[in-house]
Amino acid sequence: MQIKNITVIGAGTMGNGIAHVFAQGGYSVTIVDVNDQALQKGIETITNNLARQVKKGTLTEADSQATRSRISKQTDLAAAAKTADLIIEAATERFDLKKQIFQTLDANARPDVILASNTSSISITELAATTKRAPQVIGMHFFNPVPVMKLVEIIRGLATTDDVYKTVRELSEAVGKTPVEVNDFPGFVSNRVLMPMINEAIYCVMEGVAKPEDIDTVMKLGMAHPMGPLALADFIGLDVCLAIMNVLHEGFADTKYRPCPLLKKMVAAGMLGRKSGRGFYSY
């Protein structure tokens, strides 16, 4: 399968990062979002990140301009689906929303098009089942910030074909990423390991074991983590952390994945971390 035109759904943090990486890799990219304001914000983020690369000397000005020229924007999902060879969904982590998107893609994309999701925890098999092309549905879980982080978890649904997996793996390598094959279980590998650690750190705060900065210092200096779990939770977004913990809890029906009550309270209060200005730290 030859991939030239890529459609990315969602101009937020993950979507604009994915678009940036593929455009810099030489692919034509269309970013789709619900309105032009969201798209313009995503394009501005890409432009600023490209300028940062130029300033650091990791990218030439000519390459920066060429990258930007390969990116177009679209608010019509059905229209964007018709021109794509690969579509990567990077919308909010809600199954109902993703289901709606995948059904629209299924109805409008060419029969041979691969449909990928950047979901961090939702079942690829279940998403595939909402379409009539389950063999061509796959997970491509990128990590934030996408232009910097090398890992891509490639998640195979129950019906995903070897050809689709091979195409996506080679494509990931072509843009400088390191792909890791993962089977379809709740949370995959990354979040099945990471989120319970973050959740346990939040329990430590709730129970008064230590202050957030001290918990983070223990993990940074004692376990050589580059960022403490609570600072990382703020970076990811506490609402996203809660959504993933809910997927793990429901998917495994095991109390060890029960979201911490403090996490639920903070999300209900709108304390979502960096994006709201306050989480375990103030920004």
Kindly report the number of other CB atoms within 10 A of residue 279's CB atom.
24
Backbone angles phi, psi at 213, to 5 degrees: -65, -30
Catalytic residues: 120, 141, 153, 191
- In terms of Cα–Cα distance, which of 47, 56, 40 is closest to 20? 47
Residue 239: enclosing H or E segment and its boundaries? Answer: helix 238-252
Q: Report the run of H or E that residue 182 belongs to, with start and end.
A: strand 178-183
Write the DSSP symbol of residue 114.
Answer: E
Contact 24, 175 (CB under 8 A): yes
Looking at residue 58, its amino acid is T
Virtual CA dihedral for 10, 12, 14, 18, nearest 10 degrees? Answer: 60
Q: Are 155 and 129 in contact (CB under 8 A)?
A: no
| DSSP tally for the chain: helices H, then strands E | 13, 8
Place of tokens 């202050």: 211
Rounded-to-integer distance, Cα 171 and Cα 182, Å: 16
The closest of 186, 165, 166, 169 to 120, measured between CA atoms, is: 186
